[in-house]
Amino acid sequence: MRVNSSERGAALFPCKAVAGLLIGFLVFLLAACTAIQSMQSSTSPVYRAYNTTSGNHFWTASESERNSVLQNQQTYRDEGVAFRAYASQVGGSLPVYRFYNTGTGTHFFTISEQEKNTLLQQASQWRFEGPAFYAYTRKVLGSVPVYRLYNTKKGTHFWTASEGERSSLLQTQPDFKDEGIAFYTIQ
């Protein structure tokens, strides 16, 4: 049986359409991966240190502040990079504000303007230190949630980008209460 050229072209059309869709999808994937790499390369580490005396943690996006704390306060143990964040504002990101609690000697972070303003107006023990870094209020491509937990016994907060660490604390430490997602950042 002989197939004429118009029948052959019709038979090849679905293959060409699928190939075109596949190429389009691969181009999209490549663009998405490039965007994620670009977002990651423009972020800075947020460091975490543990105070072996008080049992509290210290977070900073400043390498020099981290080094100063570790060199000058022997009670702190370096825990490395907790997560990554933007050092300056990029499209869609908002400032994460840092406050110092003069009563507990710990820091507090919030991306919420309302929470920031409440602390500025009502809480005299909180000293406003300004934006610590920049993050997102919602999930964006390549972002991960940073969870906030409250230690009811100490009156302090804890932040982690690790779902495993969050789950472990909630299961093994009854004094920790989950406050949900604090913000989203690039891991």
Contact 95, 134 (CB under 8 A): yes
Name the residue type at position 53.
T
Contact 101, 60 (CB under 8 A): no
Closest CA to 113 of 128, 91, 124: 128
Contact 135, 98 (CB under 8 A): no
> Which residue has 């005396």 as its token pair?
53
pLDDT of residue 91: 92
pLDDT of residue 123: 75
Where do the domains of the chain lie? Answer: 1-41, 43-186
Contact 133, 97 (CB under 8 A): no
pLDDT of residue 122: 86
* Enclosing H/E stretch for 159: strand 156-160
pLDDT of residue 10: 59
Contact 111, 97 (CB under 8 A): yes
Q: Walk along the chain (187 residues) and give the pLDDT tens digit of each residue.
A: 665 656 655 555 565 555 555 455 444 443 343 344 344 448 999 999 999 999 999 999 999 999 999 999 999 999 999 999 999 999 999 999 999 999 889 999 999 999 999 999 987 899 999 999 999 999 999 999 999 999 999 999 999 999 999 999 999 999 999 999 999 998 7
